[in-house]
Structures are given as C-alpha cells and as structure tokens.
Amino acid sequence: MISGVFILFGIISIQKIGLDRFPMIEFPVLSVTTTLEGANPEIIDASITNIIETAVNSTTGIESIKSSSSPGVSVVTITFNLDKDIEVAFNEIQSKVGQVARRLPDDIVPPVVRKVETNASPIMWLGFSGDRTIQDLNLYATNILKKQLETIDGVGEVRIGGRRDRTVRVNLIVEKMSALNISAIDVVNAFNREHIQLPGGYLVKDQSEKMFKLDLEYHQIEKLNDLLVAYRSDGPVKIKDIAEVQDGLEDYRETARFNSLPSVGLGIVKVANSNTVEIINKIKLKLDSDIRPNLPLGVTLEISTDDSVFIKAMVKSLQSHIVEGTILAAFIVLLFLMSLRSTFIIAVAIPISLLGAIAVMYFFGFTFNSMTLLALILLIGVVVDDAIVVLENIFRHHHEYDVNPFDASINGSKEVVFAVLTSTMALVCIFAPVIYMDGIIGRFFESFAVVVTSGVLISLIVSLTLTPMLCSKFLIKENFNIGWDQKKLKKNIIVEKLEAFFKILEDSYSKILASTLDNRWRVLLLSFLIVLLSGYFFANINKELVPETDESRFTVRFKTPLGSNIDYTYRKLLEIENKINTQEESIASVFSSIGLGSQGQVNSGYISVRLIDKDLRKKSQTEIINNLKTEFSMLAGVKAFPAGVSIAGGQRSEKLKFSLIGPSIEKVAQFSSELQNKLSENTKIGKIDLDLQLNLPQLILDIDREKSSSLGISARDIAESISVLSNGLDVARFNDYPGDGQRYEIRLKAKEGTFQKTNDLNKIYLRSKSGELVRLDTIASFTEVLGPAVIGRENLQYSANFYTDPSIPLGEAIQLVSDVSMSILPSDYKIELDGQAKEFAKTSKNLFFVFILATVLLYMVLASLFNSFFQPIIVMLAQPLAVVGGIALLWLTGKSLNIYSMIGMVLLIGLVAKNSILLIDLTNQLRDKGKETNKALLEACPVRLRPVLMTSLTLILALLPAALGFGAGSEENGPLAIAVIGGMISSTLLTLIVIPAAYSLSARFIDKKL
C-alpha cells in the first residue's frame, strides 16, 4: 500500500506539473527610475544618479549596483543576493530613496522603485503586418490585439514592438511663423487657451439637475486648423496659416520588421512562476479560434518566436530517454538473472520510485525542466540498484540455501539491509552541500538534488518492502522439499550460454583477484598513477558555464556610430537582413527592431532569428552563427553581434561579459579603448562589443545673457522655443467625436527637414519685451562638441561594458582578460566579471568546497554506519578512480566541464561508493564468521561481482540514450550523462581490483576496530 500511495500521488502530480526550460530562478532585482525632462546625461549623473546610488548602497545584501544616465532619465538597478527577500529589499530601497528625495532637483518626476522580473522577457513574439499603413497596424495592435491577448489566463503583459502611437502632428513652418510675427511660445499659449476642458458644475432646480459640459476642445482634425493663435493687423492668424495639421504618428524613433516587411510586434510576457508551455498553448488556441478569423482582409498575424517549441522538443526527448533507459536497465537485469519474473520485480521499482519523486516535485513547486528530467533519467539507473542487490541476494539464497521463496526473501534481504541502507545514505548525503551553494548552479542543483534524493529514499523503501514481498510471491514455489538442483526446469540454449559466460567471468575474476592479493602494493601504485592522469585531462578540457545549445533560435544585436539617425540605422538593418538571408534554407522567420527599450536609441537594434527544426537543416545553429559573424565583419558603418539565447531571459547572451570600472569617466574611456585593442590582437577572443557611449555629437548653446536680458528674453524662453521646434512638445490631447475611447497627443514640432544644419537654427525667432521678434543668432550661438549619450556606472564608479563570444574556453578567456588588464590598469581601476563569466568564476570557487564537504559528509555517514574510522577510507578510494573516468570521457568526446558535467562529477562521489560498500560489507560478514581476510575477500568479491556489474551497467545504460546526444537539448543532457558513465566505467573496473587490495593491506587496522 505504501507503493500504491507513491503511484497514486505521482499520477495526480504528473497532470498538474508544468513544463519549462530551466528551474525557476528569480533574482531579487530592483530598479529606481527618475525622470528630469530635458536634462543631459552629465546633469542626470551628478544630480540624480550619484545621490540615489550613494543612498541605497548601505542596504544589506546587495550584490551589485549598476546605473545608466541617459538624456532625461536615470535608472539605478540594484541586484541582491539570491537569498534576499525581495519584499524586504523593496521596502528598504524605497525608504532609502525617500530619505534623499529633497536633495534631488525640484522639477523631477518623483523616483519610482520597481521590481525587475528577470524572467519577464517575452515567451512569444507575434509579427503583425499587411497592406495597411503603420498607423493602421499600430492602432489595431494597440486597441484590439493587445487587449484580446491580455485576457488570456497567465499573460502578464503584452509589449508592442515598433510602436508608434497615433499622434495629431502640428508641423510648424518657421518661415510662415516669422512672416506673421508668431513665436513658438505663442502657439503653445494658444493651445493652452483655446483647446481646453474644464468642470462646469451643475444647474440645480427643485427636483432635478443638469451638468454643464465645458468641453471646448476640437474633435475633428479639419477643425483644428481653425484654432486661433493671435490677431495681427491683417486679421486673425490660425493654425492653418503657420502649420500643417496631420493625423499621423509619434516621432520616428522606433520601428520593426517581420520577414522583411514593416510590421508591429507583440511580445507576450507570462505571469511570474507560471507554466510557459500551457500559456503558449492557450495563446495559439485563441489565435486560431478567435483572433485570426476576425482579422481585417490583407493583414496577417504570425508567430515570430515561440519558447515552447524548444521546451516541448526537449521534454519529449528526455521523456523518450526515460523510456529507453528503463528498457535498457530492465534488459540488463534480464541478461544477468535470466528470469522474467525477477526482471519484472526489479522493473516495478522504476515507475514507483519515479512517480514518488514526481509527487515530491509537485509539493516543492518544481516544473518538468531540463534539470528535473535529467534527475529522473539518472534515477532509472540508481533506483534499481537497491532492488537489484536485494533481489540478487534473495535469488542466490533461493538457489543455494532456502528452497522456500518466503524464507529466501526474509534471509536474503536481512543479509544486505546494511549494504542497501549504507549505499543509499552515501548518495543522499552528497546533496547536503547544496544548501551552501550560491549563484545559478546552486539553484539548478537544488531542484536536481531534491528529485534525486526523494527518488533514492523511495527506492530504499521499495527495495526493503515491495521487492522482498514480490520475491516471496513470484519466485518459483513448487517442489519446496526437493531442492533447487532437482527441479525440472527446462533451459534453453541462450540461458545455458549466458550461465557459462558468467561462470567464466567469475572464474577469471577470482584468478585476477588472487593475483591482486599477491601484488597489493603494485596494484595500489598503478592505481595512483592512473589517478594522476586526471590532472592532464583536467588541464586540457574546455571549461565553461553552460554548453552551446541548438535551440533553433538566436539573436543579433547591432549598432551604428553614435549620432546616426534612424534612417541611416534602418538602411544598415536592411544590409544585415540581407546577410541573414544568405542562410535562408535554415531560417523560419526574422523579427527586427530599432529603438526598443527604455533608452530608445536610434543607433542600435535587435534581431530575433528563428530557425527550422535542427533535424530538418544541414547546418547547426553554431555553424550558422559563425558564418554570419564572418558575413557581418564585411559590413561597413555598422557592428553586428550574433549570439545564442541567454539563460536569464532579457539579458545579453554572450559568454564573456565584463566591465572596466574606475573613478574617472575619461580614464575609463581611455583604458577601455586600450584594453579592447590589446585583447583584439588575439583573434580567439572574438569580436568585442564595447558599450561605451561617450562620443555623441552635441551642440552646446551659448547665450549672450546681457543682451538677451536687455531684450526681455530669459534663458527659459530661449530653451523652450528651441525645445518646441526641435524636440517637439505634446501640448494637448485630442479625441475624435464619436471616437474609439482613446485620447491622443497633439504634438507641436517644426516641419520635418526644417533643421538639418546648425545654421538652420537661426530660423528660430523669440519675442522681445517690445513685442518684436528677435532672431536666435543675435543673442545665442552653438558650439559642436562630443559628449556622452549614456553614462554607465557600476558599484558607484564609472564603467564600460565589454561583450564577446570567445572561440577559446571561457576559463582561458577570463584568464586572458585578467592578464591583459593587469598590464594596463592602475591599482584604482579594475575588471568586474558579469553574466556567465561571473557565474563561472563563482562556480569554480564553490566546486572545490562542495567536493570537500560532500567527501567529509560521506566519510561521517560511512564511519557511523560501519562503526569504524578506517573502513570508510577504503570505501572512498573509489572516488578518485571515478573522477579519472569522468574527466577522461568528457575530454575524449569533446565535451566541456560545465554546470551539467560538474553536477555529474559531484554525483559520482556518492554513486561509486555503492560498489565498494557491497564488497566490504560481505567481506566483513565472512570475517565475523571467522574466515581469514584474504579468503573472505576471495569468497565475497566473486559473489558480489554480479550485483556490482548489474548496478553499474543499469546506470550506464539508463544514461546511454542521453549521452549519445540525440534530440533537443542534447548539448546539456550529454555532459552529465557522459561524466557519470565515464566515472562508473573506470570506478567499477578498478574498484573490483583496488578495494580488495586496499582492504587486505588494511586488515590489521580493521582488526583493531579503527
């Protein structure tokens, strides 16, 4: 019934657990956004960013503080340690910001503290395009599609890419304005005076009332032309006399394309911690059943990117590996025991343990993802170990001693209960260090550890309860009083051949073992030399955080020189798209954009490329990206950087990210340029993207204040006039009547093309105190300089960010950056790693600690169970033997040492101890019966040969489908499986020789009860 409970809860849990790419990792990140309209980056940096950074810096638990000061906006991003409660952090930061609010400029928009959802990047992008104007597409996407998609359960936000809202544009013609004696401020005042709505109150009678509707706005574009600006001698001056009124779009600072057509993108962001695949399935259902059938003729709504495609393919691949692994594990049992009944008894332990582990997953809130499914695959080979040991011993007792299956089940299970318990606890204890692991690997390992631990503990319960019970019921029962050898069993030739093979194997092993016991020191010395080989493999193996995975999608970030306008950037985007289309046989869709994001810079853009399924194309994703890197390097006037998709959604995915930080922004710029040039001398470091934006062409206004004051023109008058005509001003709001329920901005701005050269600004006129217009160049001049577009800071110092995808291993690349920077940078300037590089360095530091702690805990568990200080050391000799095999096989197969293979190496600490425990446990039992040490070894080890080989081969074959690298996500599944397989092969072969030799040499210490 206990097993029935596991099955019941497991089946229910399967239906409720969601699917996702990775375990949920929520980084506690907060942002503080402050707006000061019109301020340049230097003012934002000094008067806002610096003050806020200093205030929040004293908050506990901060990992890093980054900021950007761009025109009019300060954004300070605070990242906390993973164990920091985000709600507590939010309250603390809000309090700190509130304390310095009065030190900030008076005319700011108050600072806004927000939680940053690091996993809140869109899970799906839709491309909306067709034979309509961009205004029509924008209106339909914003007013219809966005609202329909937001009603779907699980959708948290719908972002519009290439969004340009409807705007009533009043394109001022400065020549007509000056001819009619109208200034920019006159037009602003006219709108504030003539286009208004005010509350009118009520007209109340005895038993009724009527509301005054003081709606004095214009509600038709044509009538807006008649808005009165001023009276002159020739009569009234209306808007149509000095401007062109256009029902248009907001300023052209953002655009999007889908499959080479102008379009609007809709990015769908899921609610935090929700099921990605389930939400996307609901979206697709809504698209097919409700949205697409009702689209206007001539437009299409197509899927550009879809995160669920890879997730479902990966899960399907891992599920098939689970089935394949189960079949292979059962085959090994059948091969060794040559009994269908015994195979069934063993195989039953697999689904029960897996379903029990799945039930635990549900209660912990885990999803089916790459880590939990890998854990389930591993469990196939692990959970049968205990059942194999118990059944094999019962089988042997039934064969040699107890004809009655019931007696064989009792006596056989009693004999191995200690070995089963010890080997299970050995595996469980290695996961304790997980609680001390920080960073991404700690969170990844957490879900993996819970699933494996729960599955192993459930398998222990099954092996000591269900397995003996099934053996007592289903092993051959007839002729109890006759004896095994006298039973009339009909054997076939295959069984006879297998029995003969295993007999030869056991005899050969007995001879090798006897020779080993005669040459114990030589065996141990040879083993030590083999272990030393791992140093060579470790030094030469590639090291990285995560392997490159073919997800059938990648991104391209590109930028043109600072000062490029959107038209120039758009032309370069077309060139990049042409290069991407050289790989058209592999491409499913391309979504491109310029100006997306909070900074909205028109000299940078983002392209998302979706490939056809990897089974249907000839080139891998890595090959396509490398080909495009070559193609992009030939483009002039633009830098493009293709890369895979980041683990942390919304962040750049380059493997090597680091910052150069220091106290002076000028020095940071100088050293960054030197560092980039020096690193670029090594072509293996890759093409470096230096995100330092300090060379934006700028015009500095210099006012003759005495002259302007004498004319009654203030600095504010000058600044506002230039701002209205050059930058534009949303002066009022407009809605149609009857309308669509929306209100749109009325934007004043000089007609496009009015200002192209510095001298064109002389067309601006200002009104003096005498009422006459004064030309701008009579009281002010402009100077061209280079200045920052964005000022970046990190940990309260100025910073420059570097991004690259090196062709050399990440560990080597990090060392190269460290060496070069040490030769360039003075002591008060330093390098800070970020992204994968930071996590890699953190993981490398933690890994040694985890290995040591897991080893110590394993020793403590074994010492308490064996009641000996010395015997656990013998058991643990299998660990270095496993490390050799794991590292060697990774190196031979060309795999890297990464987050997945590292988990496999840690697992080996507990897995390989099982074989040693089986050998030593039976040897101890025989010695307790009075047998001499070597004779006990010569008897016990051949007896345990079959269960040792069975448990090792079941694990190896269970992981074999994942190790062979078939299916989606094989780049991640493979390294863990290969590391474990390599370790199991080497440790199994060497343990059968080395452990008896070490035990024999240590007999006197064991006899002293040490």
Supply the pLDDT for residue 190: 92
Average pLDDT, the chain: 82
Tell me the C-alpha to C-alpha distance, in Å, between residue 917 and each of 388, 419, 482, 816, 880: 14, 6, 35, 45, 16
User: Going from the N-terminus, what domains does the chain have, and what CATH number goes with each?
Assistant: 1-18+319-478 (1.20.1640.10), 27-117 (3.30.70.1430), 166-252+696-787 (3.30.2090.10), 491-540+868-1009 (1.20.1640.10), 552-644 (3.30.70.1430)
Instruction: Read off the pLDDT of each residue in 494-514 and give the average, rounded to a whole number.
Output: 78
Low-confidence winner among 105-119, 668-682, 754-768, 802-816 (lowest mean pLDDT): 105-119
- pLDDT value of residue 119: 54
Amino acid at 463: S
Strand residues in 595-633 grouped as ranges (E): 604-611
Nearest to 215 by CA among 198, 232, 190, 228: 198
Average pLDDT over residues 713-721: 89
- What is the arithmetic mean of pLDDT over 138-160? 87
pLDDT at 523 over 70: yes
Buried b (16+ CB within 10 A) or exposed e, 396-427: bbbeeebbebbbbbbbbbebbbebbbbbbbbb
Whether the bond into 41 is cis, omega within 30 of 0: no
C-beta atoms surrounding 60 within 10 Å: 10
Q: Which sign does the torsion angle of CA 468, 471, 477, 483 carry?
A: negative
Q: Is the pLDDT of residue 18 over 60?
A: yes
Is it the case that residue 483 has pLDDT exceeding 70?
A: no
Q: Which residue has the tokens 């911690």?
A: 273
Q: Is the pLDDT of residue 513 over 50?
A: yes
Where does 100-219 have alpha helices with state H?
A: 134-140, 146-150, 174-179, 184-194
- Length of the chain, in residues: 1010
**Can you tell me the mean pLDDT for 32-47?**
85
Between 525 and 966, the more confident residue is 525
Rank 499-503, 769-773, 1000-1004 by mean pLDDT and report only the highest: 769-773
Judged against a pLDDT cut of 50, whether residue 873 lies above it is answered with yes
Q: What percent of the chain has pLDDT over 90?
A: 5
pTM for the predicted model, two decimal places: 0.75
Q: What is the pLDDT of residue 651?
A: 63
pLDDT at 283: 92
pLDDT of residue 573: 92
The fraction of the chain above a pLDDT of 70, given in percent, is: 93
What mean pLDDT is predicted for residues 396-418? 72
Q: What is the mean pLDDT of residues 984-997?
A: 82
pLDDT (tens digit per residue) in 619-668: 888 889 888 988 888 888 888 888 887 665 446 677 788 889 888 888 88
Beta carbons within 10 angstroms of residue 889's beta carbon: 22
